[in-house]
Amino acid sequence: MKNILKKLREDDGFTLLEMAIVIMIIAALLLLIIPNVSKVNDKTDKTTSEAVVNTVETQILLYEMDSGEKLEGDALLNALEGEYITSEQRKVYEEYLRNK
């Protein structure tokens, strides 16, 4: 028991230099990770938008096959919304058409 107490008294903890080295390593890792995370978010947004556009275009074909009508523009999107596509899908598709 006395040996343990003696060792605890001798241990002074970390030095300022050791703490500085650890902080620099953590900062270097953050500098490597943060830019990659933002790139992944951008790529995910683009991929999601492309998937929604493909879904809406497929639903347009299904609507035309079911109804026998070939509508365009807002009339088509109004007919699709609710039964074939959601309002969020419509917004993404309209944004895609504007940016096209």
* Residue range 54-74, pLDDT digits in tens: 999 999 999 899 888 888 888
Domain carrying residue 40: 15-99
**Residue 1 within any structural domain of the chain:** no
Q: How many folded domains does the chain comprise?
A: 1
DSSP 23: H
Considering only residues 5 and 54, tell me which one the structure prediction assigns the higher pLDDT: 54
**Residue 5 within any structural domain of the chain:** no
**Residue 43 within any structural domain of the chain:** yes
**Residue 73 within any structural domain of the chain:** yes
Distance CA 9, CA 88 (A): 64
- Which pTM value belongs to this model? 0.58
Across the strands, what pairs with 81? 85
**Residue 8 within any structural domain of the chain:** no
**Residue 4 within any structural domain of the chain:** no
Terminal C-alpha separation, the chain? 77
**Residue 95 within any structural domain of the chain:** yes
**Residue 81 within any structural domain of the chain:** yes
